[in-house]
């Protein structure tokens, strides 16, 4: 059978984990996909919307890669040329340490049509779902979002710079560098800043510890906090909104998505 679909790549942000924290545009892309290449941090329940697609896991975790990045790039192109519309489904937002721009650039070399659907980054969504405002009047005027592990597997040098500012600091992929991060803060500051670490944020498996620079390492051990987790450092951690609950929609996913003014179409 000859493929008549135009080769296309749509890079889609799947949000931080909660099934409902995905956009209508993202679900529309999944419904129209022929192939879905999805990552380890994607909620696999989202694949139910890819009703006409073959779904392929290409996730990467520390020390375990199903595919290298070069192999993923090549797979995007080969699958698009063979089947048509490839959706590259990534956790959070694809342009926040998601290498989405690299994959788009590679696909364009081969003449693929390309598109992007933004997602809710865990750097924003996870603190918010726990009542932590990254900026707050008279507390924090700005925030940094920093990778804890660079492409050469080292801690970003920006952590040292950020530790000297009054900004809130959010570190992704930094749990295996936690001791190094703490040492930098202890070297560069005399105050004992509050710190929150949230594992599997917005999901039913969420775990959280809140402490200070001097106490957090022990709290992490006691509560067995591991990756994937985000680290939030700053005075805003002491001033969370007191949420009665993390909001859950009153409609089922199908009711919300498919009966909402036919927006998915």
pLDDT of residue 241: 87
Residue with the bigger pLDDT between 36 and 258: it is 36
125 and 91 in contact (C-beta within 8 Å)?
Answer: no
pLDDT of residue 259: 45
In 3D, which of 191, 175, 166, 202 has the Cα closest to residue 42?
202
pLDDT of 224 higher than 80: yes
H/E stretch holding 194 reads strand 194-199
- Tell me what percent of the residues of the chain surpass a pLDDT of 70: 88
CB-based burial of residue 133 (10 Å sphere; 0-12 exposed, 13-18 middle, 19+ buried)?
middle
Query: Stretch 12-27: mean pLDDT, rounded?
Result: 97
Residue 60 falls in the annotated catalytic set: yes
Residue 205 falls in the annotated catalytic set: no
Residue 187 falls in the annotated catalytic set: no
pLDDT of residue 198: 98
pLDDT of residue 67: 86
pLDDT of 261 higher than 50: no
Which pLDDT band holds residue 247 (cuts at 50, 70, 90)?
Answer: low
Residue pLDDT, tens place only, 34-68: 999 999 999 999 999 999 999 999 997 655 667 89
Catalytic residue among 8, 18, 28, 39: 39
pLDDT of residue 65: 61
How many angstroms separate the Cα of 129 from the Cα of each of 51, 54, 210, 226, 245?
30, 32, 15, 19, 9
Catalytic residue among 25, 31, 60, 207: 60
Query: Stretch 186-214: mean pLDDT, rounded?
Result: 96
pLDDT of residue 64: 60
Catalytic residue among 8, 18, 173, 177: 173
Query: Stretch 18-22: mean pLDDT, rounded?
Result: 96
pLDDT of residue 66: 72
Which pLDDT band holds residue 188 (cuts at 50, 70, 90)?
Answer: very high
pLDDT of 3 higher than 60: no
């Amino acid at each position: 059978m000859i493929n008549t679909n135009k080769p296309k790549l749509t890079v889609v942000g799947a949000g931080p984990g909660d099934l409902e924290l995905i956009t209508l545009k993202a679900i529309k892309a999944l419904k129209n996909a022929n192939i879905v290449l999805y990552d380890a941090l994607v909620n696999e329940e989202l694949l139910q919307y890819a009703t006409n697609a073959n779904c392929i896991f290409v996730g990467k975790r520390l020390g375990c890669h199903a595919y290298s990045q070069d192999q993923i790039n090549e797979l995007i192109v080969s699958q698009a040329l063979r089947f048509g519309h490839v959706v590259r489904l990534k956790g959070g937002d694809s342009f926040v340490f998601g290498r989405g721009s690299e994959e788009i650039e590679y696909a364009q070399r081969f003449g693929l049509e390309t598109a992007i659907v933004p997602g809710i980054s865990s750097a924003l969504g996870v603190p918010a779902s726990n009542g932590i405002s990254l900026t707050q009047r008279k507390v924090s005027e700005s925030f940094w979002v920093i990778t804890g592990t660079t492409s050469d597997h080292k801690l970003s040098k920006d952590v040292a710079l950020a530790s000297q500012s009054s900004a809130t600091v959010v570190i992704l992929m930094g749990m295996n560098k936690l001791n190094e991060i703490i040492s930098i803060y202890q070297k560069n500051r005399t105050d004992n800043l509050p710190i929150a670490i949230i594992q599997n944020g917005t999901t039913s498996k969420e775990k959280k510890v809140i402490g200070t620079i001097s106490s957090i390492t022990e709290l992490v051990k006691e509560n067995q906090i591991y990756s994937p987790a985000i680290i939030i450092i700053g005075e805003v951690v002491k001033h969370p909104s007191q949420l009665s609950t993390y909001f859950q929609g009153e409609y089922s996913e199908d009711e919300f998505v498919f009966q909402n003014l036919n927006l998915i179409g």
